Structure 1
Amino acid sequence: MASQRAAVTATVDRLIEEVGSWPHIEVGEHRFGGTEFRVGPREIGHVHEWGMLDIAYLRRLRDVLIEEGHTGVHHLLTESGWTTYYIESTDEFDHARWLLRLSYLYHVAVLQRTPAGSEELADVDVEAELAALAPSDTVRAAFERKPASA
Structure 2
Amino acid sequence: MAKTDGPALVETVRSWPGVSLRPHRFGGTEFVVNGKEIGHMHGNRLFDLLLSKSERDRWIEEGKASPHHIYPDSGWVSVYLKTEQDIACAIEIARFKYDQIKLKGRRT
TM-score bracket for this pair, using the shorter chain length? 0.7 to 0.9
Matching residue of 1:39: 33
SS of the equivalent of 2:102 reads helix
- The residue number in structure 2 matching 1:24 is 18
TM-score with structure 1 setting the length: 0.63
Larger gyration radius, structure 1 or structure 2: 1
Q: 3-state DSSP class of the match of 2:55?
A: helix
- List gaps (5 residues or longer) in structure 2: none
Offset from partner CA, 1:30-84 (integer Å, 9 cap, x none): 1111110011121110112241110121221111111222211111222322100
Which of structure 1's runs of 4+ aligned residues deviate more than 6 A?
none
What TM-score, normalized to structure 2? 0.85
Gaps of 5+ in 1: 1-6, 115-150
Q: Percent identity?
A: 36
Structure richer in strand, relative to its length: 2
Q: Does residue 1:110 correspond to 2:104, yes or no? A: yes
Root-mean-square deviation (CA, aligned residues, Å) is 1.7
Structure (1 or 2) with the greater helix fraction: 1
- What letter is aligned with 2:50? A
